[in-house]
Amino acid sequence: MGISERMGDVLGLAVESKLMREIAEHPVSVKHLAIIMDGNRRFAWKSNVAAGIGHRIGKEKLEKVLDWVLDINIPWLTVYALSTENLNRPQDELDVLFNLYVEGLKDIADDPRIHANNVRVQVIGRRDLLPQNVNDAIEYAEEKTKDYEAFVFTVCLAYGSREEMIDAIRSIAEEHADGSLPLESIDEQAVSDRLYTGDMPDPDLVIRTSGEERISNFLLWQMAYSELYFTDVFWPSFQKKDLLKAVRTFQDRRRRFGE
């Protein structure tokens, strides 16, 4: 490693340290962070490697980001890993993704850091659309961490927010039809309670990587008043300083909640 690279590393660590200090001292904190992890394939194409390698690097990046979130003490982390629309991708690419989900869920469930920090792992989405080996890995991770409450790590797999809202509407319609849910009881809270995220707070901050500035059928109801942060960095290239900058930007914004 050359002198310029070493200097760059030192400066990078200094920037991270400064941002960490500012985040810790700020009166506003992020309670729930949601991330749209985008750019694995474009990272691979730009790097002239197979798409599967981009996805693998993206999986390894998520493990690092989880560590960073624990460092910042954000109690809820939700990531968009696979949308229902993504299920239309070529089967060979899906097979690579499914194998990475199995590997990643088992690795996380067995990671001492998860247990040392009391992290509960959960998966939301249309599990019926996922292969059995992925469902087995989901059950393994959820079972091993089910008693933890300090942090909650949620992975959205085969997830689509419109589908989620349709399921909530059907549930409300059924309960109203059988007389267990009076018409006057159908309000915002009634809808929120019946979403896949019913036991979770709405996200404070939503980050999307790769330069795309859209939310792609992700937590449409839940992010009504979330702060959005877009970065040009592809997900595999996302660094701790990028996360810290997003959090600091959030802290300096004045949330209006529609006012």
Query: In angstroms, rounded to a whole number, what is the distance separating the alpha carbons of residues 4 and 89?
Result: 42
Instruction: Quote the CATH superfamily of domain 29-159+196-251.
Output: Decaprenyl diphosphate synthase-like (3.40.1180.10)
Contact 153, 184 (CB under 8 A): no
Beta strands 227-230 and 205-208, pairing class: parallel
The full set of domain ranges for the chain reads 29-159+196-251
Residue identified by tokens 């340290």 is 17
- Kind and range of the H or E run holding 177: helix 161-177
Segments in the chain below pLDDT 50: none
Q: What is the pLDDT of residues 67-117, one digit of tens each?
A: 999 999 999 999 999 999 999 999 999 999 999 999 999 999 999 999 999
Query: In angstroms, rounded to a whole number, what is the distance separating the alpha carbons of residues 76 and 126?
Result: 21
Q: Is 86 a catalytic residue?
A: yes
The pLDDT, as a whole number, for residue 4 is 54
The pLDDT, as a whole number, for residue 201 is 97
The pLDDT, as a whole number, for residue 257 is 79
The pLDDT, as a whole number, for residue 8 is 55
**DSSP output for 68-136:** HHHHHT-SEEEEE--BTGGGGS-HHHHHHHHHHHHHHHHHHHH-HHHHHTTEEEEEES-GGGS-HHHHH
Query: Catalytic one among 86, 117, 135, 217?
Result: 86
The pLDDT, as a whole number, for residue 235 is 98
Reduced to 3 states, what is the DSSP secondary structure of residue 45?
helix
pTM exceeding the 0.85 threshold for the entire prediction = yes
The pLDDT, as a whole number, for residue 256 is 79
